Amino acid sequence: MHYNTEYIVSYLGHERHYHSFVDFFQQEIAATVLNEYLFSRSHLTDDLLARMYVGYSHPLIHLGFGIEFEQPVLVAEALTQGAVHPDWMKRFLLGAEKAAKTKGNPSKTLIDLLSDINMDPFLSMASSLRDSDGLMDGNKLQYGILGRGAEAAIDLSSQFMISVENLDQKTAEMIGAAA
C-alpha cells in the first residue's frame, strides 16, 4: 500500500504507532527488494528469477508465503535460496519468453500443449531413468527435458502466453489442467 508523505508525517512522533511503523517499513523494504531484485528486468533480475524455479520451485513457494503472510524474513529466505541455486532454468525460461515474442499466433491451451508433448516422440521420451539422482527427479528435468529436449520444450512453452487481459482465463485453465 502506498501512503502519501503528509499522511506519514501526521503519525511521526507518536510512540503508540511504533508497531505500525515497523510493519510499514518491513512492507516497504519487501516491496522495494522484490522490484529491485526480481521484477526490474535487468541481467541480475533475469538471472535471479530463473534461479527461483530451481529446487522444485521452493524459493517461489517460500516467496509466495512471505508475501501472502507479510513475513519479510521469508521473502529474504526465498531470495537467498534462489541466489544460491544453479541457473540451469535460465536458458529455458528466457528462451521461451524470447520465442513467444516472435509468435503472432494466439496462445494454445495447456491441454493442447500437453497433448502436443504426448504426441512428440522425442520430447515425450526426453527424460530417462539414467538422469535420476536416486533421490528426486530434478536431474530428469535438467538433463532430460531441458537438456536433450530443450529446443522442443522452449518451442512448446513459447506457445502458452499470458497477458493482463487473459490472466483470469489462463489461471482457470492452469487449475483445470492440473486437476
**The domain boundary residue, chosen from 34, 61, 86:** 86
Q: Secondary structure of 11-37 in the HEC alphabet?
A: CCCCHHHHHHHHHHHHHHHHHHHHHHH
**The domain boundary residue, chosen from 58, 86, 114:** 86
Position 116 pLDDT exceeds 60 = yes
pLDDT at 9: 80
pLDDT more than 70, % of the chain? 94
Mean per-residue pLDDT over the chain, rounded: 88
Q: How many CB atoms lie within 10 A of CB 24?
A: 15
pLDDT at 72: 84
Concatenated DSSP letters for the chain? ----HHHHHTTTT-GGGHHHHHHHHHHHHHHHHHIIIIIS-SHHHHHHHHHTTTTTTHHHHHHHHHHHTT-HHHHHHHHHHHHHS--TTHHHHHHHHHHHHH--SPPPPHHHHHHHHHH-TTGGG---GGG--SS-SHHIIIIIIIIITHHHHHHHHTT----TTTHHHHHHHHHHHH-
**The domain boundary residue, chosen from 50, 71, 86:** 86
Task: Tell whether 93 and 174 lie within a shared domain.
Answer: yes
Task: Tell whether 11 and 31 lie within a shared domain.
Answer: yes
**For the segment 62-85, what is each residue's pLDDT rounded down to a tens digit?**
999 999 998 888 888 899 999 999
Distance, C-alpha 67 to centroid of its chain: 14
**For the segment 16-63, what is each residue's pLDDT rounded down to a tens digit?**
988 888 888 777 877 888 888 899 999 999 999 999 999 878 999 999
**For the segment 140-177, what is each residue's pLDDT rounded down to a tens digit?**
888 888 999 999 999 999 999 999 999 999 999 999 99
Task: Tell whether 78 and 140 lie within a shared domain.
Answer: no
The rounded distance, in Å, linking the Cα atoms of 163 and 161 is 7
Task: Tell whether 66 and 105 lie within a shared domain.
Answer: no
Task: Tell whether 43 and 75 lie within a shared domain.
Answer: yes
Task: Tell whether 82 and 94 lie within a shared domain.
Answer: no
pLDDT at 139: 79
Task: Tell whether 45 and 72 lie within a shared domain.
Answer: yes
**For the segment 82-93, what is each residue's pLDDT rounded down to a tens digit?**
999 999 999 999
Task: Tell whether 23 and 65 lie within a shared domain.
Answer: yes
Task: Tell whether 110 and 171 lie within a shared domain.
Answer: yes
Given CA atoms 130, 136, 142, 146 in this order, what sign does their dihedral have? positive
Task: Tell whether 9 and 81 lie within a shared domain.
Answer: yes
Task: Tell whether 59 and 121 lie within a shared domain.
Answer: no
Can you give the residue range of the structural domain that contains 71?
5-86
pLDDT at 108: 92
Task: Tell whether 46 and 102 lie within a shared domain.
Answer: no
Whose CA is closest to 81, among 52, 103, 116?
Answer: 52
**The total number of structural domains that make up the chain:** 2
